[in-house]
């Protein structure tokens, strides 16, 4: 009986989905950039939108030369708008005074949850310079009338 209870407890723990976090991040392999995703909340109702901030920070400070690349976004159990962002840093000339804004790129995207009859989890995947960050969002079930 004791082993049956332990087995049930282990299966229950293994089946639990990871709790959503409102802020996730990752640093590129070369240590030059930090990618982060921050949702305004950790849940959304079907058919509603949830804003998510995408932030790329240069960890080496303001870049001297202009630099840009594409950041791709992929989701499950919903839609995302836009599905990609162009991360741009203008660069700082030698005679200019740099500030923190010169080393940060920020943009907002919108996650819209699919209709669900039961509790589900949506995910926003951001791919940037071979780095991958995932923010998980709880999708609450539709209320039946």
**Domains, the chain, ranges and CATH?**
16-139 (2.60.40.10)
Alpha-carbon distances, residue 49 vs 28, 56, 87, 88 (angstroms): 29, 22, 23, 26
Strands (E), the chain: 23-27, 33-39, 43-44, 49-58, 67-76, 78-81, 84-89, 104-113, 120-128, 131-139
pTM of the model: 0.80
Task: Round to whole Å and give the CA distance between 75 and 122.
Answer: 7
H helices of the chain, in order, are: 2-15
pLDDT in single tens digits along all 145 residues of the chain: 444 334 334 434 433 455 667 889 999 999 999 999 999 998 999 889 999 999 999 999 888 888 999 999 999 999 999 999 999 998 876 666 666 667 999 999 999 998 877 888 999 999 999 899 999 999 988 766 6
């Amino acid at each position: 009986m004791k082993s049956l209870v332990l087995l049930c407890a282990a299966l229950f723990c293994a089946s639990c989905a990871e709790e959503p976090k409102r802020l996730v991040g990752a640093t590129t392999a070369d240590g030059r950039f930090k990618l982060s995703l921050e949702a305004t909340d950790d849940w959304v109702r079907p058919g509603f939108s949830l804003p998510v901030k995408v932030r790329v920070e240069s960890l080496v400070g303001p870049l001297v030369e202009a630099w840009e690349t594409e950041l791709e976004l992929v989701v499950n159990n919903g839609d995302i708008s836009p599905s990609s962002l162009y991360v741009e840093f203008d660069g700082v000339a030698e005679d200019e005074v740099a500030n923190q804004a010169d080393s940060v790129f920020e943009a907002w995207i919108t996650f819209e949850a699919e209709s669900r009859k039961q509790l589900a989890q949506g995910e926003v995947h951001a791919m940037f310079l071979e780095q991958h960050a995932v923010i998980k969002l709880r999708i609450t079930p539709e209320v039946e009338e």
